[in-house]
Amino acid sequence: MFYRRFFNVPNWGFSKSFREFDRLRREMDELFGALSGGTLPRLSAGVFPLTNVTEDKENYYVRAELPGIKSNELDIQVTAEGISISGERKIPVEGNNVKYHRREREAGKFSRSINLPCEIDVNKVEASMENGVLKVTIPKSEAAKPRQITIK
Can you give the pLDDT at residue 107?
Answer: 83
Can you give the pLDDT at residue 93?
Answer: 81
Residues 129 and 55 in one domain: yes
Can you give the pLDDT at residue 128?
Answer: 96
Query: Does the residue 59 lie in any domain?
Result: yes
Low-confidence ranges of the chain (pLDDT < 70): 1-18, 34-47
Can you give the pLDDT at residue 29?
Answer: 79
Task: Say if residues 113 and 47 touch (Cβ distance below 8 Å).
Answer: no
Query: Does the residue 97 lie in any domain?
Result: no
Query: Number of folded domains in the chain?
Result: 2
Can you give the pLDDT at residue 68?
Answer: 87
Residues 29 and 72 in one domain: no
Can you give the pLDDT at residue 130?
Answer: 94
Domain containing 10 equals 2-35
Task: Say if residues 121 and 140 touch (Cβ distance below 8 Å).
Answer: yes
Residues 65 and 113 in one domain: yes
The pTM of this model reads 0.63
Distance CA 65, CA 55 (A): 18
Cα dihedral 75, 53, 91, 41 sign? negative
Can you give the pLDDT at residue 36?
Answer: 62
Query: Does the residue 30 lie in any domain?
Result: yes
Residues 116 and 86 in one domain: yes
Can you give the pLDDT at residue 146?
Answer: 74
